[in-house]
């Protein structure tokens, strides 16, 4: 497990499979479905093809996981959640109560801020594919969506961490919500 979360844990698994020269026995020994690994390899090849088509350089971040985390945050900034003082998390967009899925590498670690890939509804609404983030990244990577909250409306402790979606006077009130998007 990677301390940063599930995305980087999955990357470490892929790198391990790559180091084994994409071996099926390695998958069997590590209780991983070879078919899923081959699908990940196909997606990677598709991304490399797209990069080549547009003549973009393929650069590795190496062991600088912060760059990877920030790239994922830039793509999933609407899927951010903050730890609730009593129980679970609250999504920043809708303030819905959500919980870390028990299969996550960050389960029982209770990070303050997370990005999730998807929500799964069972007895509770669970976040899956979770990554720990720094709240400042949201403001830095999605400045048209998040801003620092008004410091006059909250306690000193909250001033350091509170962010909220920006008001957009050119669009309807809830147009930023995923449920309101078309397509």
Q: Decide which of 121 and 152 is more confident.
A: 121
Angstrom distance (rounded) from CA 89 to CA 82: 5
Q: Output b/e per residue, 20-34; b: 16+ Cβ within 10 A.
A: eeeeeebbeeeebee
Q: Decide which of 142 and 174 is more confident.
A: 142
Angstrom distance (rounded) from CA 20 to CA 37: 12
Q: What's the whole-model pTM score?
A: 0.76
Looking at residues 155-161, what average pLDDT do you find? 62
E strand or H helix at 101: none
Contact 3, 133 (CB under 8 A): no
Instruction: Assign 37 a pLDDT band (cuts: 50, 70, 90).
Output: very high
pLDDT one-digit tens code per residue, 50-108: 999 999 998 888 888 999 999 999 999 999 999 998 889 999 999 999 999 999 999 98
pLDDT computed for residue 157 by the predictor: 65
pLDDT one-digit tens code per residue, 115-137: 999 999 999 999 999 999 999 99
């Amino acid at each position: 497990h990677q301390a940063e979360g599930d995305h980087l844990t999955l990357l470490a698994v892929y790198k391990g499979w790559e180091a084994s020269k994409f071996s099926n026995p390695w998958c069997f020994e590590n209780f991983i479905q070879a078919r899923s690994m081959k699908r990940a390899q196909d997606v990677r090849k598709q991304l490399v093809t797209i990069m080549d088509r547009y003549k973009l350089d393929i650069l590795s971040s190496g062991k600088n996981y912060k760059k990877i985390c920030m790239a994922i945050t830039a793509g999933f900034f609407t899927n951010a959640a903050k730890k609730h003082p009593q129980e679970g998390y609250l999504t920043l967009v809708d303030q819905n109560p959500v919980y870390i899925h028990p299969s996550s590498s960050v389960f029982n670690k209770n990070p303050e801020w997370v990005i999730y890939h998807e929500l799964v509804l069972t007895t509770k609404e669970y976040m899956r594919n979770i990554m720990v983030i720094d709240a400042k990244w949201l403001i830095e990577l999605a400045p048209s969506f998040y801003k620092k909250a008004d410091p006059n409306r909250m306690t000193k402790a909250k001033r350091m961490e509170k962010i909220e979606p920006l008001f957009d006077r050119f669009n309807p009130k809830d147009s930023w919500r995923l449920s309101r998007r078309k397509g």
